[in-house]
Each structure stands twice: as C-alpha cells, then as structure tokens.
Amino acid sequence: MANRSVPVDFYGAPAYWFEIVTSIFGLDIFLSNILLLWIAASSREIRTLPSNYFTINLAFGNTLVGSFYAFLQPFVLNYGDTSPVLCHICGFGNITFAMSFLFSPTLMAASRYYNVTRLPSSSGSNWFSSRAFFTKTGALSLLVAFWSYAILLPLFLLAIDQLGEDPSGFCGAKAFTSPLLYIIYIISLIIFALFNAVLTYIYFHRLSKFMAQYQRRPSDVSSTDTRSVMRLVAITAILPLVCNSPTLLLSGGQWFIPDVMPMWLKRIFVLPVFIPPMVGPWLTLLLLRPFKKRFNEKVMAKMWRRPTMTAGLIEPTPQPNDAVNVVQRPPVHRTTSVIVYDAAGRQRSPPQPLKATLSVP
C-alpha cells in the first residue's frame, strides 16, 4: 500500500456533507425498493409470472445499491483512508450494480415481446425463448448468467488491485496508470452498455410495431399492460444513461479531461446517479397493473380506510316510556236514545228522552 494514491479531500472532514447526503439518499432507495419487493412477495399473481422476475430483479439491484450507500458508505468515508478494503468492497458493489441497471430493461423488453407475440408451445417459439421467458427456472437462469457477467469486470479489477478511490468521488476504479488496463476497462463498459442498449431498442421497436399492427385484434394480453411495460422499459433504459453520464465522464475520461475540479464539485456533479434507483420502484407501482393493484390493496386501502360501525356496539337500554310508542286516543262517546212502549205495545215518547252514555276505549 506504499504506492497508494488517494485523491485530495476524498476522506475526512471535507467528505462529511457527502456522507450525510449519500446516507439519506441510500436509505430512501433501500426502503422504497424493499416496499416493492414486499409487494411482489405478498402477491401470488406477481410471484407466479416469470416475466415479473426481471422487474423484481431491478428492484433487488436497487435495494443492494441503497444498502451500500445507507449503511456501508459512512464507514468507508470515515475509515477508508486507513482501511482500504472498505473502499474495495464498496467499489466492487458500485460497478456491479451499475451494470445491473443496463441489462434489466433489456430482459424486461425481451420478456414482454415474447409473451405478447407468441405462446410458449407455438411453432414460432425457439428453444431458448420458450424456456428463458416462459418458465421460472429459465428466467432465474438468465438472471444468474447476466449477474455473473456483471461481476466479471469488478472481479478483474479486484484481482489487479485496481479497485478503490474513483476520480469521480465514489469508490470504484482507481485512476489507471497503465494504458492497456485503461483501454480494457473502457471497452468492457462500452461493449456491455452498447450490447444492452441495442437489444433493448430492438425489442422495444418490435413491440411498438406489433402494437401498432394488432392493437385492435382481440387478444388475451391487455394492450394497456403492454404499453405500461414499454413506458417503464423506456424510462429505466434512458434515465440511467443520462444520470450516470457525469460519473462515466469523470471516471472514463480521466486521461482526456484535465483534473481541475475540486472533489466537492465533482461529488455535486455526480449526484444525479441516485435518481434512477430512487424513482424506479415508484414508477413500477404507478405503471404496472399487478404491482399497482397489490399496492392499493396492501397500503393505500389501509391508509385511507374510514372507521365503520360494527355489530358489537352496545345499544342504550330502552326506558319504559320509550319502549313502545303508544298514541293515546281520546275515548269515543256514543249516545243511545231509549224508546218506551205502553202495555198495549204502542210507542210512547217520554217527555224527556233518557240518554245512556257508553264509554268505549
């Protein structure tokens, strides 16, 4: 470690503000994506569909990013100057997770295309697509393959002791002193990024063409769901490229751009890198119907639920006067005239008729 070169103001008091900012952003990223993973785990509809595994994979990668920034970054900026292994671990994770942002939209677009345009048992499906995008084992195997490739580059940098303090202000790849290693690093990133960008564009273009041609044809697959996936793919593919451009510019262009910016300005310049993992889970909950439906059931319905009357409430004891509502009616008076007859049977009216009053309740 005698030849170790640390950028000025990378550690110590000048980095305290950056430590606080990254911890806040990291905690927000971690909690938001944990929420999305919980929503997915609680829904059988989401868990049983292999195409959702690629969306869940994006949230899983974002969760790891948030955990690194929220829980590991403070230790790195405080003790990394005396314990370089902390920055090595953090740099390994940063490069790996950045590459996961690139291949997740590609797999999402490809999965949606094959699920919309063909059935797993149809003659138009090839062996690879019918197993990789229609079965759980195939989807998980494909994710393991891409994660393995994403780990190769940081493993190579770790083997040659090239992980550490990145010129951009994060832990990543140290400043290169060998032109050959620098070229290998740049080409590896560019090839991987271009490969995924081209595949994403191809599948996105095919989906757009298919929807324009068959959107009025009756189908089991909802066109609304497909367009929502297309919007999510477009945002998750373009947003990381835009927000990570400052970091790639400072790190990848270290041999061409003069190092005149102070460390605090570099770190402000690269703060947009937190935007994609922060907005990713909320875009998923907003755009994708199964996730949105489950989120409304598990979270929104409980937050906005109003108290209701239950059958177990104790009713007041009725009073005797209130037990029966009795209408008191006045008594009915009937008047009867008495007719008097003599001994011969002839009617005789009395001088003053007798009247009897009967009271009928």
**Residues 62-111: pLDDT tens digits?**
999 999 999 998 889 888 888 889 999 999 998 898 888 888 899 999 98
Inter-residue contact 160 to 180 (CB < 8 Å): no
What are the boundaries of each domain within the chain? 13-303
Question: What pLDDT sits at residue 277?
Answer: 92
Residue 232 has pLDDT above 60, yes or no: yes
CATH of domain 13-303: 1.20.1070.10
Please work out, in degrees rounded to the nearest 5, the angle formed at the alpha carbon of residue 41 by the alpha carbons of 38 and 45: 130
Query: CA–CA distance from 348 to each of 140, 337, 353 (Å)?
Result: 119, 13, 11
CA distance 139 to 129: 10
User: Percent of the chain, pLDDT > 90?
Assistant: 29
CA distance 17 to 313: 56
Confidence of residue 28 (pLDDT cuts 50, 70, 90): very high
Confidence of residue 356 (pLDDT cuts 50, 70, 90): very low
Query: CA–CA distance from 52 to each of 45, 49, 56, 101, 289 (Å)?
Result: 10, 6, 6, 16, 11
Mean pLDDT of the 268-274 span: 91
The dihedral sign for the CA sequence 335, 340, 341, 343: positive
